[in-house]
Amino acid sequence: MAAVILENVNAHFPIYGAQQRSLRKAIFGRATGGSIEHEDNDRITVKALSDISLTLRDGDRVGLVGHNGAGKSTLLKLMAGIYQPVSGTVRVEGRVTPLFDAMPGLDGEDTGYENIITSGMLIGMTRREIEAKIPEIEEFCELGEYLSLPVRTYSSGMQMRLGFALVTSLDPGVILMDEGFGTGDLRFAERAEARMKDFIGRSPIMVLASHSDRIIKAMCNKAVLMEAGRIVAFGPADEICDQYYESVHAAAMTERAKRLARAESSSSDGTDLGSKGEIGPSSSVSFPEDMTRPGDDVARLCSARLLVDGIGDPKIIDRNSLITVEMTFEVLKPGYVLMPNFHVFLQDQYVFVSSPPQNSELAPGVYNSTMSIPRGLLNIGFFLIGVALTSVNPLNIHFYVQHALGFRVTESKASGIFKEIPGPVRPAMEWNVTRA
């Protein structure tokens, strides 16, 4: 049995500047009363992790996703016992096998054999245990005579092979890995990949920190989404990775929205900017009249929303329901042939663009236009919809709000035969299997 249990864990890093770390400051800071406060105010503390509670059990293959500095590595190091929490507890059942450094204590002047023994002992093996592993390591790393030479004579590839052979010869406990360890990369030969798979397969729990949702989806069954030192979500790897993707977009959207707002407040008439307005994705978006609506002097966007089987405001949609996208826009000037269109993306990937088959000149007024996505067309994933209005002859874009709407398509697990079917769409095709 193995388990990793974290309860209300906090970790703060004090940041000491060159000045801060000096003894003089500490002594005189104490001696001159008031400056202690000053000292305390000056001290920068990075709250690397705040209030983390997490329980991992046998069989968990957990991915840690999040931006740089979200606390992934710190969390791993806490689980490894390298950092002790400022408050809260980290408890572990079974052994922990951190793979942050394949060969701790490596010294270029020592031979390969010597380094194997030093690193092995640092990892926690006894000398006898390591010596028993040496034939296996020798065989796997294929360094031959080189093992008797100082490691500084090795190429980086050879060094990596040695570290990899050593690490994977261990009996894995709870594996803790940073993406830097290279397991996700395809630079390993097939043999190494198989060995790594076997190694991870033998471990009761694996935790892997990565930026890449692709790696996490491939290697993990659960995932933790971290943001600014907190756990935002914990659940099945696929869902969390989608949510991570969504949050990456949301952050970009907020940023763009901010920039847009700044630009609008600084320009007297925001019409030209409004035409390419962008806002955060959700299942509905509306622009009240008193707000600058996206658009130009011809037409403006009032609102857009999603309807699922006629019901509004869904965020998670089963792929077999009827998804209807609606946009409401106001036409201000007559004499334009207007074509509403929706741009559907799966993450970064363009899935399709759609517009009505026929378009006509629209008189000033408010219009509703809807597009229905057939049941079962979209594959599972997080989709984003851009809403646009274009006039033809001459071609002119009146507004295009990227990522105006966002929604997740899921599927009730019972109907899925395979774990995951790739591709943005999964329409029902006509099939025939006959005997020739």
Partner 1 sequence: MTIVLTHIENVIGGIKDSDVGLRSLDTTAAEDLLRGLAKRELWGRLGWLDVKRRYRRTTIGPFWTSITLAIYTLSVGSVGAALWHQDIYEYLPFLVSGMVVWMLVSSIAMESCNMFIAGQVLFRNIRFDYSILAYALVWRNFLVLLHNFAVYFVIVLALKPSLFSFTLLLVFPGLALVILNGVWISLFLGLVCLRFRDVPQLVSSAIQISMLITPLFWPADTLTGGRRIVFVDLNPLYHVLDVVRAPLVGRVPEAISYGVMIAMAIGGWWLTYLVFRRFRKRIAYWS
The site for partner 1 (CB under 8 A) is made up of 1-3, 5, 11-14, 16, 18, 21-24, 26, 58-59, 61, 77-84, 86, 89-96, 98, 100-101, 104-105, 107, 109-110, 114, 117-118, 121-123, 126-127, 150, 171, 173, 183-184, 186, 193, 196-198, 200-204, 218-219, 221
- The distance of closest approach from Cβ of residue 236 to partner 1 in the complex, given in angstroms and rounded to an integer, is 14
CB of 92 to partner 1, least distance (A): 6
- Cβ proximity to partner 1: between 53 and 368 the closer is 53
b/e sequence 191-202, b meaning 16+ C-beta within 10 Å: ebeebbeebbee
**Cβ of residue 91: shortest distance to partner 1, in angstroms?**
5
Report the residue number, 205 or 327, with the smaller CB distance to partner 1: 205
The DSSP secondary structure of 92-145, one letter per residue, reads EES-EEE-SSSSTT--TTSBHHHHHHHHHHHHT--HHHHHHHHHHHHHHH--GG
From the CB of 257, what's the least distance to partner 1, in Å? Answer: 37
Between residues 212 and 370, which has the closer beta carbon with respect to partner 1?
212
Strands 396-410, 316-318: pairing is: parallel
Backbone angles phi, psi at 350, to 5 degrees: -70, 125
Structure tokens that stand for 209 in this block? 């920190």
Closest separation in Å from C-beta 241 to partner 1: 15
The answer to whether the beta carbons of residues 211 and 179 sit under 8 Å apart is yes
Q: If we measure between CA atoms, which residue out of 417, 378, 200 comes closest to residue 208? A: 200
Tell me the β-bridge partners of 368: 328
User: Which CB sits closer to partner 1, 186 or 436?
Assistant: 186
| Matching residue, tokens 């294929």 | 142
Cβ at position 33, least distance to partner 1 in Å:
21
Q: Structure tokens of 375?
A: 């049941």
CB closer to partner 1 out of 182 and 340: 182
Q: Which is nearer to partner 1, 89 or 415 (CB)?
A: 89
